[in-house]
Structure 1
Amino acid sequence: MNKFIKGMLALGLSATALVGCSSGTAEDGAEGTASGTITVVSREDGSGTRGAFTELLGIDDGEKDNTTSSAQITNSTSVMMTTVEGNDYAIGYISLGSLNDTVKAVKVDGVEATQENIENGEYSVSRPFLICTTGEVSELGQDFMNFIMSDEGQAVVAEEGYIPMETTGTFESNGATGDLTVGGSSSVTPVMEKLAEAYKEINADANISVQQSDSTSGAENAISGVYDIGMCSRELTEDEEAAGLTPTTIAIDGIAVIVNNNNSVDDLTSDQIKGIYTGEITDWADVAE
């Protein structure tokens, strides 16, 4: 009886080991090659990052966004990153300026996602960061906007890993005080918070509230007056411009295509990314080298 029990236990352990192998991480494949069903992670409707990403990669054909219905939807850059970090088979996309070592950015068409490659035009997946206003801007709003486009403001943009715009020169504050609400894109939020902190050091009597939502909300709330200044990580739509919004580009940002650090895939073509996000490519083995 003891021998029988021992034999059954041995079989059980062997079966457990086999199950473990079949549900292992991407790095468990042959010679480290990724394989397994791809988990597509995307942003919510209204996200400027999603809008720019789907347009630049041809996922949006001009009539509709063809992102696969099986995609997991996240509502911010941080949630996108933690989702991909926690899933060996996931793929997502984020603002390049938010990239850290918790995930891996793949090359797109053989080009690494870097500030230099965006500036020289070799990395094509990039978009503008905008602030948008309507009607007459308050003295404080204008002063803060002047700071953003000044030498000092654009230095903050560059320090945060984004491509700065041509500056208007050294900043001279008009001394305006009061409250200012800036809101919208979660991609623009991190650099806007840094800009607000830097401006506060110059104008301590200004109170700037930076509120995170998405690009569409940023535009809509700027139109309605809920936000004094809206933030968008995409170009404005015709309807938004017709409603009286005026955009100002404050930086250029790349969109990094990210995978889990355990994924051996380092390079994807634009067509492969499109295929993954439209549901035509569903297994990492189909894009692994």
Structure 2
Amino acid sequence: MKKLTRALALCVVLALGACALTGCAPSPGSSGGASAGGASSDASAPSGPISVYAREDGSGTRGAFIELFGIEQKDASGQKVDLTIPSAAITNSTAVMMTSVASDPNAIGYLSLGSLDDTVRALSIDGAEPTAANVKSGVYQIARPFNIVMTEDASPAARDLAAFIMSAEGQAIVEENGYVSVAEGDSYVPSGMEGKVVVAGSSSVTPVMEKLAEAYRAANPGMTVEVQQSDSTTGVNMALEGTCDIGMASRDLKDEEKGAGAQATVIAQDGIAVIVSQESSIDDLSTEQVMEIYTGAITNWDDLI
């Protein structure tokens, strides 16, 4: 029995020695908690050239982004000029932007806060976290309006859909989908209309518009609502041309669009999130740093870390 006891003790000693040699630490792939800034424990600091991603010309998100971050500046003649670095990779929709940034550890991009998912990480700007609550309170100031655009010749059906969007039910859908409501409307009374409304434009507004259209159709079974995704400028132009009933724009109207007869109604407020891949340990940038990245004054992550 004594021999057996001594043998067991020897096994324990040998096991403890092996543990000491290997460190008994979690493997690199094991769970070790999150870092203070919200990045996962396996996130690493990006290094090398910054991969800059931008939206296409005509995008309301791009228009608002360059204005809010000072990337759009006046030239010597007083004309506004977009100074986005020419080497920026152009993405033509919110979905493409998200996929592109998610797959590039050195990437930076931007998109509608309401469209954000867990494939990418949104950065705090000037210490303010990008949330709907912070947009509503004004703490997070990188925000813009979502507009629907019609003309004075808009059909009764288009105006009824607009009334639903601004109703208590419509604005509740806005809030439920991560945006900031802008009205405390009355309860919507179904109109019983029959027909079709075509809504076209901004890819940022499209997700919440599809939810609004679905609820409107449920209230009015005789109505069809077709939502066509493109960009804000296309949506405004289609509304002016009469090729859609309602345009969607994720920016304010330009003076020339108003002069042509476009009439905008703000249906929601939305933040613009500056995003990086989940692999990046970057948590916060200043407004000035974002501007310098997008104008080419800063081109390497090592200059920020």
Length-normalised TM-score, structure 1: 0.88
Tell me if 1:120 matches 2:120: no
Map 1:223-242 to 2 at 5 A.
223-242=240-259
Alpha-carbon distance in 2 for matches of 1:120, 1:165: 13
Deviation at 1:136, TM superposition (A): 2.4
Partners of 1:71 and 1:136 lie apart in 2 by 40
Contact 2:170 2:212 in 1 (8 A): yes
**C-alpha displacement at 1:168, in angstroms?**
2.2
Aligned-pair CA distance for 1:200: 0.8
Q: Among 211, 214, 217, which residue is 1:200 paired with?
A: 217
Structure 2: segments with no counterpart, 5+ residues: 1-38, 75-79
Which residue is 1:190 aligned to?
Answer: 207
After TM superposition, the structure 1 stretch with the greater mean CA deviation from structure 2, 230-239 or 167-176, is: 167-176
Partners of 2:54 and 2:88 within 8 A in 1:
yes
Partner of 2:34: none
Matched, 1:48 2:60: yes
Q: How many residues align?
A: 259
1:110 is paired with a residue of what secondary structure?
Answer: coil
Cα separation, 1, equivalents of 2:141 and 2:63: 15
- Name the amino acid aligned to 2:101: V
Deviations 1:12-41 (A, max 9, x none): xxxxxxxxxxxxxxx9xxx93321110000
Contact 2:232 2:251 in 1 (8 A): yes
- List 4+ stretches of structure 1 deviating above 2 A: 31-34
CA apart distance, 1:120? 1.1
Q: Secondary structure at the match of 1:64?
A: strand
Secondary structure of the corresponding residue to residue 70 of structure 1: coil
Secondary structure of the corresponding residue to residue 109 of structure 2: strand
Shift of 1:138: 1.3
Map residues 195-274 of structure 1 onto 2, 5 A cutoff.
Answer: 195-274=212-291
CA RMSD of aligned residues (A): 1.2
**Secondary structure at 1:164's aligned position in 2?**
coil
Where 2:197 maps in the other structure, the secondary structure is: strand
Question: Match of 1:32, SS?
Answer: coil
Matching of residue 178 in structure 1 with residue 195 in structure 2: yes
Contact 2:110–2:273 (8 Å) recurs in 1: yes
Q: For the residues of structure 2 that align with 1:265 and 1:181, how far apart are their CA atoms?
A: 41
Identity of aligned residues (%): 52
Contact 2:46 2:105 in 1 (8 A): no
Distance 2:176 2:45 in 1: 36
Measure, in 1, the Cα distance between the counterparts of 2:292 and 2:191: 52
Matches within 5 A, 1:70-109: 70-109=87-126
**2:211 alignment partner, SS class:** helix
Give the letter for the 2:241 counterpart: S
- d(CA) in 1 for partners of 2:188 and 2:44? 53
One-letter identity of the residue aligned with 1:124: Q
Between Structure 1 and Structure 2, whose CA radius of gyration is higher? 2
Aligned partners of 1:224 and 1:32: how far apart in 2? 50
Deviations 1:108-156 (A, max 9, x none): 0011000111111111100000001012221211111110000000010
SS of 2:96's partner is helix
Partner of 2:72, secondary structure, is coil
Deviation at 1:167, TM superposition (A): 2.6
Residue 236 of structure 2 aligns with an amino acid whose one-letter code is A
Deviation per CA, 1:69-124: give whole Å up to 9, x if none. Answer: 00000000000000001100010000000001100001100110001111111111
Secondary structure of the equivalent of 2:158? helix
Structure 2 letter corresponding to 1:45: D
